Amino acid sequence: MEVVIVKDAKAGGELIADGIADLLRRKPDALLGVATGSTPIPIYDALTARVRAGSVDASRARIAQLDEYVGLPAGHPESYRSTVLRQVVEPLGLTEDHFMGPDGSAEDVQAACEAYDKALAEAGGVDLQILGIGTDGHIGFNEPCSSLASRTRIKTLTEQTRVDNARFFDDDIEQVPHHVITQGIGTILEARHLVLLATGEGKAEAVAQTVEGPVAALVPASALQLHPHATVVVDEAAASKLKLADYFRHTYAAKPAWQGI
């Protein structure tokens, strides 16, 4: 696992966007796994700026959704399908033909989960998966004590996650669904490159447990320690509880340019 400490969220977004741009130059039709929430927005803004400036061509890129609420219609403004289309697909100049995600409004939700897992495999797998992290260490909607071998499935949100997400629903927790579809940890670990961005002091404890703690289902993000190519990008606030912060800074400063992100 590589840990990169940056000045702020904007710097983290720029760094990760550079890595995605390099990937698209090598593999123009790369499948990018995207997360939602406020944390990854600097990544999408920075990547969009590069596309509009002509420094990278994203016209053949494919976008894969990480998770989805159960019960919200596809056109609901806070469905993750709508969010990804609004924040990623449309700004990059892509169409829905370039997008894939689970169907949270399906009558048979379990079948929809299995179909999405199959679709990801048939698409050749995710080349780079962007991840955020919850204050309790969850990735995707894999809440604490999720199986580290789990596949795309239905999950029940913790009360803390519903509280955290209420800001997207007019601060009304009653509007936040109780259930979601999420790529499982086992599914996430199949991506070729995992990139987690965490910003703010509120994520510091979860970051420390993820990077320096034991691999444990209680902290789902700690499963990144098992991946051969995982990058954790954190701002100074989110890095504030890392015991090895100075070592991570030294390692990154001495990193050869040819290694890339």
Given the residues 68, 117, 127, 143, the one annotated as active site: 143
Sheet strands side by side (includes 2-6):
2-6, 230-235, 193-198, 128-131, 31-34, 62-65, 99-100
143 is catalytic: yes
* 15/222 Cα distance (integer angstroms): 22
Neighbours of 243 (CB within 10 A): 9
* 140/133 Cα distance (integer angstroms): 8
Given the residues 103, 117, 136, 164, the one annotated as active site: 136
Residue 260's contacts (CB-CB under 8 Å, 6 or more residues apart) are 19, 22
Given the residues 68, 103, 117, 138, the one annotated as active site: 138
**Which residue type, as a one-letter code, is found at position 46?**
A
Active site residues: 67, 136, 138, 143
